[in-house]
C-alpha cells in the first residue's frame, strides 16, 4: 500500500469527534481489538450518502476506513460485500475487518486503501483520469470489466439470458411539474415496454459502479469499493451504463467538453459501438462499450449487435434520467442528461413503429 502520514495528519481523539454517543460506542467496539494501541481519527467528506465516514489510525498499525450508517444500510453493504468478495481478485477489493450492528445504527470497517496521505482524498478514477495516459485509462477499464467483475458478470458460463426489466423510475412532486421530466418519462415508458421483449445476460452486478467507486493505487491498479447495491439476477448492462453515463459528469470539465463536441455521434442514431473520436473520455466510453459487446457476442452467446444496442440504450436512458432526477446537480449537467436521453430515444422511433 501507499505511504500513510502517521505524524502530520489531523488525527483527533474519539471524544473530540462531532458524532453521536451511539456512533462513538460503535467506533469503540470496532476498534476494541486495537485498544492496546492509541487509536485516533480523521473524519473524511466523501460520497453522496448521509453516512459518517472516517479513518481510524491505531498507533504503529495500518489504518481502517469506517462507515457509520443505519443498521439497514450497513447490513445491505455487508450482504453486497459477501456477494462480490469471493468472485473478485483479492487485491481488487479492500479487506473487510469488522461489522457491528445495533438496533438502529451499524458500522463497517475496511482496511484503508490510500493513494497518499490519509488526510488527503484517495485518488479515484474520476480525479486520476486527467493525469493518466489514454493507454493507462483504457487498461484500467479493461481490468474493471474483463478481470475484476468478470466472474460476477459471467459466472463461468452460469449467467442467465432473460428479458430486460428496466427499473421503474422514482419521481417526486418537484419533478412531476418539470416538463423535461414528463417528456423523458413518456419516452422511458415506451422504452421499458420495448426492452421487455429483448433478452440480455443477467448475473451478479456491482449496482453502483461509477468512477468515484473505483480507487486507483499508486501503480494504477483499480480497487472497487461500496457494494451496498450489489445484487443477483440483474442485467449486466446496468454496471456498464452507470459507469459510462456518470463518467462524463464526474471528470475534469476540459475532458468532458472534448467529448461533448462529438456527443451527437456518441449518443445519437449512429451505432454506439463505432468509435467516433480520439478524445480520452470518448476513448474510455468506447472501451466500456467494447467490453460489453465482447462479452455479449462471444461464441457461447452470439447476440446480435442491434439487440445489444437497443437494450443498452435503455439502460443508458435509465442512468441519465436518474442523474437528471437529482435536482442538486447543476442545471448544465441536467440539461446535458436530458439532451442525451432524447438523442438515445431517437433510435427507438423506427423500432417502435415496426413493433
Give CA–CA dist 319/77, Å, rounded: 21
Nearest to 139 by CA among 131, 147, 151: 147
The Cα 345–Cα 4 span in angstroms is 48
Output the pLDDT for position 1.
Answer: 34
pLDDT beneath 70, residues of the chain = 1-8, 45-49, 115-116, 119-121, 354-355
What superfamily does domain 14-111 belong to in CATH? Phosphorylase Kinase; domain 1 (3.30.200.20)
- Fold match flag (14-111 vs 125-354): no
The predicted pLDDT at position 112 comes to 87
Confidence at residue 102, expressed as pLDDT on a 0 to 100 scale = 93
- Domain-wise residue ranges, the chain: 14-111, 125-354
Tell me what pLDDT residue 218 has. Answer: 84
pLDDT score, position 278: 79
Say what the pLDDT of residue 7 is. 65
**How confident is the prediction for the chain on average, in pLDDT?**
91
Query: In 47-86, which positions are buried (b, 16+ CB within 10 angstroms) versus exposed (e)?
Result: eeeebbbbbbbbeeeebbbbbbbeeebbbbbbebbebbbe
When the candidates are 3.40.50, 2.10.260, 3.10.350, 3.90.1200, the CATH number that belongs to 125-354 is: 3.90.1200
pLDDT recorded at residue 92: 94
Instruction: Find the length of the chain.
Output: 355
Contact of 1 with 65, CB cutoff 8 Å? no
Amino acid at each position: 500500500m501507499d505511504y500513510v502520514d502517521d505524524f502530520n495528519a489531523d488525527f483527533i481523539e474519539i471524544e473530540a469527534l462531532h458524532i453521536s454517543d451511539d456512533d462513538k460506542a460503535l467506533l469503540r467496539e470496532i476498534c476494541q481489538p486495537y485498544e492496546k494501541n492509541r487509536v485516533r481519527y480523521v473524519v473524511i467528506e466523501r460520497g453522496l450518502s448521509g453516512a459518517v465516514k472516517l479513518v481510524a489510525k491505531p498507533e504503529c498499525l495500518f489504518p481502517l476506513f469506517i462507515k457509520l450508517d443505519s443498521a439497514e444500510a450497513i447490513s445491505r453493504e455487508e450482504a453486497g460485500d459477501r456477494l462480490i468478495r469471493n468472485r473478485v481478485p483479492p487485491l481488487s477489493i479492500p479487506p473487510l475487518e469488522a461489522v457491528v450492528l445495533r438496533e438502529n445504527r451499524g458500522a463497517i470497517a475496511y482496511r484503508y486503501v490510500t493513494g497518499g496521505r490519509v488526510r488527503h482524498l484517495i485518488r479515484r478514477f474520476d480525479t486520476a483520469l486527467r493525469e493518466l495516459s489514454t493507454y493507462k485509462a483504457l487498461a484500467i477499464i479493461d481490468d474493471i470489466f474483463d478481470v475484476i467483475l468478470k466472474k460476477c458478470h459471467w459466472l463461468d458460463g452460469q449467467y442467465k439470458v432473460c428479458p430486460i426489466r428496466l427499473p421503474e423510475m422514482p419521481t417526486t412532486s418537484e419533478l412531476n411539474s418539470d416538463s423535461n421530466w414528463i417528456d423523458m418519462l413518456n419516452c422511458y415508458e415506451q422504452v421499458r415496454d420495448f426492452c421487455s421483449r429483448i433478452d440480455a445476460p443477467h448475473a451478479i452486478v456491482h449496482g453502483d459502479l461509477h468512477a468515484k467507486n473505483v480507487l486507483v493505487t499508486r501503480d494504477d491498479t483499480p480497487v472497487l469499493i461500496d457494494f451496498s447495491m450489489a445484487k443477483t439476477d440483474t442485467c449486466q448492462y446496468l454496471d456498464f451504463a452507470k459507469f459510462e453515463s456518470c463518467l462524463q459528469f464526474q471528470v475534469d470539465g476540459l475532458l468532458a467538453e472534448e467529448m461533448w463536441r462529438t456527443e451527437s455521434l456518441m449518443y445519437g442514431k449512429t451505432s454506439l459501438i463505432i468509435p467516433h473520436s480520439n478524445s480520452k473520455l470518448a476513448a474510455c466510453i468506447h472501451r466500456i462499450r467494447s467490453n460489453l459487446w465482447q462479452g455479449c457476442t462471444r461464441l457461447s452467446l452470439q447476440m446480435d449487435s442491434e439487440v445489444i444496442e437497443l437494450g443498452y440504450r435503455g439502460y443508458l436512458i435509465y442512468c441519465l434520467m436518474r442523474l437528471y432526477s437529482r435536482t442538486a446537480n447543476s442545471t448544465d449537467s441536467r440539461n446535458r442528461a436530458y439532451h442525451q436521453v432524447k438523442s438515445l430515444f431517437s433510435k427507438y422511433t423506427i423500432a417502435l413503429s415496426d413493433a
